[in-house]
Amino acid sequence: MNTLLNVIWFVLAGIWLWIGYMLAGVLMCILIVTIPWGLASFRIGNYAVWQFGREVVSNPRSGTWSFLGNVVWVILAGWWLALEHLITGIIMCLTIIGIPLGIANFKLIAVSLAPLGKEIVESK
């Protein structure tokens, strides 16, 4: 079931979300200071393209620096990636088949706003 959902997800939204995250990652990596945000964007982008069967969990070792980094991330790129998730989620929820995909898109909004201090693990 995860494979079927991932294929549908990839065609309808995953590729576009991946492009957005990769663009944000490249823009962040252009400046040397923002490379950690670029790497986080690449990591979350790879999750966003093929998300079913995996989940995002908080890293218990992350602390104040992750929080401060996430504040900078929201200002630089997080808000427009969250907006991308919101728009594609609403569009997907217009059809009955797309409702689970739209809900999955809404769950990604929190990750797009705060990618630092998160890990991607296989679902149990």
- On the question of pLDDT at 2 being above 90, the answer is no
What spatial distance separates the first Cα and last Cα of the chain, rounded to whole Å? 14
Helix, strand, coil shares, percent, the chain, to 5: 75, 10, 20
User: Given pLDDT bands bounded at 50, 70 and 90, which one contains residue 89?
Assistant: very high
Least confident piece of the model among 62-66, 85-89, 95-99, 102-106 = 62-66
Give the model's pLDDT for residue 123: 81
The average confidence (pLDDT) of the chain is 88
Give the model's pLDDT for residue 119: 83
| Residue of 66 and 1 predicted with greater confidence | 66
